[in-house]
Amino acid sequence: MIRLLLIILVALLIGTGLSLGLAYDLGYIRISLGNYVVETNFWVGLGLVVVLFIASHLLFNALRRLRQGGTLMSGWVARSHQRRARRRTTEGLLALAEGNWPRARKLLTRSAGKVETPLINYLAAAHAAFETDDHEGADELLRKAFESTPGSSMAVGLTQAQLQLAGNRLEQALATLLRLRKESPHHPFVLKLLKNTYVRLEDWGELAKLIPELRKRSVLTEAELADLERQAWHNLLENAAERCEKRQEDDPGTSLEPLTRVWDELPKTLRQDEQIIRDYALILAHLGDEAQAETLIRKILQNNWSDELANLYGRIAGREPGEQLLLAEQWLKDRPNNPELLLALGRLSLRNELWGKAREYFETSLKLRRSRETLAELSRLNAHMGHEDASLKLMMQGLEADNGLPQLPMPKA
């Protein structure tokens, strides 16, 4: 109410002022343009100026709205393109999941330049290209992915390495992963893929060097690392043994330096590993150095007992078979009911031509545990001692046990 009264009061004042101004003669306005002269009184001129100002203002506003309308139109068009690109990207990803590789590649590539995250489109399109065996096309899409997004070197490189591994391009995968490792030496996934590459390339030397870093970064579980480390060094020992065999073929009696060098490089933990020790001892025996193998196993068994190594000890001929037997009989005092040790003692007795003692050891071992190995040894010994019936009986027992024969009635002899 107060505001309305104020408006009315202001209007009255303005009206009064105008009426007084019109009653008072302020003269005239004369404008000369070349040969033309325009004359008017002051109030009409003032009115024309006001009208001209208002018209200019309206024209300016109209032009501004027209310009804004063009910007809005272009923005609407751009948003429409983005919506279409997002829709195509979604369709492309669905096609990729469904295994429709050509359609996925087409949709993802076309929409890559109009979405906020072109990197995803190019990486997915590269996967689709790979599935159609277009490796060059996949590499080109990966290049575009790298160029589309700053800081994407690791993501693109890892995708490229995985596709190279999947395509069995192992040398290229190795080159890619070594480059990535220079960029990020401790990246867990790079290390894992590098491990897979070395295994498939059978590059056991580089794998053995990589294992400490894998353990430090917890890339694999400790059990997985132990198996991997054992596999790597087992193959390194086998490869060294092959080199030794070739050298012996060319020059009989040469040293086993390649093999012993690998053994000296073994990590400390593996020097106590039962499987690795067994592998090394068997290789030594195969290469003709049973004496060194016997010495190694004897030292291990004196400190860390192993039934498997005890079995192997009975198979290997040391320099002094008598001393081997005496030492094993000392071990028997602490392990009187160990079937593997008794089997080894039977074999060592045979090596010392103690036939009766060997038979006793085999029979005692067989009573503690019926094994095919012990049955075979005792059967063979009985046959050579002239006990054919006992030997045949043992052989039949072994055959029955091996084949799981059921209990059935048999004719009497």
What does the pLDDT look like over 177-229, one tens digit per residue?
A: 999 999 999 999 999 999 999 999 999 999 999 999 999 999 999 999 999 99
- DSSP symbols for 284-342: HHHTT-HHHHHHHHHHHHHHS--HHHHHHHHHS--S-HHHHHHHHHHHHHH-TT-HHHH
Task: Give ∠ CA 247-249-250 in degrees, rounded to 5.
Answer: 65
146: containing domain: 79-150
pLDDT at 76: 46
CA distance 3 to 196: 84
| Percent of the chain predicted with pLDDT > 70 | 76
Per residue in 34-64, pLDDT tens?
666 666 665 565 666 666 767 776 777 767 7
pLDDT at 218: 93
CA distance 360 to 378: 9
Pair 98, 143 in one domain:
yes
**Nearest alpha carbon to residue 288 among 335, 322, 248, 258:** 248
Per residue in 87-118, pLDDT tens?
888 888 899 899 999 998 998 888 888 888 88
CA contacts within 13 A on the Cβ side of 228: 26
165-174: long-range contacts, CB 8 A cutoff, minimum separation 24? 165/193, 165/196, 165/197, 165/200, 166/130, 167/130, 167/135, 169/135, 170/197, 170/200, 170/201, 171/201, 173/197, 174/201
User: Which domain-ending residue is among 217, 236, 255?
Assistant: 217
User: Which domain-ending residue is among 199, 217, 235?
Assistant: 217
Number of domains in the chain: 3
User: Which domain-ending residue is among 150, 175, 203?
Assistant: 150
pLDDT at 18: 53
pLDDT at 137: 93
**27-36, 60-69, 152-161, 168-177: which has the minimum mean pLDDT?**
27-36
More confident residue, 320 or 48: 320
In a domain, 182, yes or no: yes
Mean pLDDT (whole number) for 372-394: 78
In a domain, 190, yes or no: yes
Pair 213, 185 in one domain:
yes
In a domain, 390, yes or no: no
CATH code of 137's domain: 1.25.40
In a domain, 237, yes or no: no
pLDDT at 138: 93
**Nearest alpha carbon to residue 314 among 299, 333, 327:** 327
Per residue in 290-313, pLDDT tens?
999 999 999 999 989 999 999 999
Q: Are 139 and 160 in contact (CB under 8 A)?
A: yes
pLDDT at 183: 93
More confident residue, 285 or 407: 285
Sole residue written with tokens 């024969």:
405
CA distance 254 to 250: 9
Look at the chain and count its residues.
413
Mean pLDDT (whole number) for 81-85: 74
CA distance 391 to 375: 9
pLDDT at 46: 60
The 3-class secondary structure across 234-250, one letter per residue, is HHHHHHHHHHHHHHHHH
Per residue in 230-268, pLDDT tens?
999 999 999 999 999 888 887 776 788 899 999 999 998
In a domain, 395, yes or no: no
Above 70 in pLDDT, residue 163?
yes
In a domain, 243, yes or no: no
Mean pLDDT (whole number) for 1-6: 66
Q: How confident is the model at residue 72 (pLDDT cuts 50, 70, 90)?
A: very low
In a domain, 270, yes or no: no
Maximum average pLDDT range among 84-88, 95-99, 326-330, 393-397: 326-330
pLDDT at 276: 95
- Pick left, alpha or beta for residue 386 (phi over 0 → left; psi -120 to 50 → alpha; otherwise beta): left
pLDDT at 77: 47
In a domain, 209, yes or no: yes
Helix axes 153-166, 118-131, angle to 10 degrees: 10
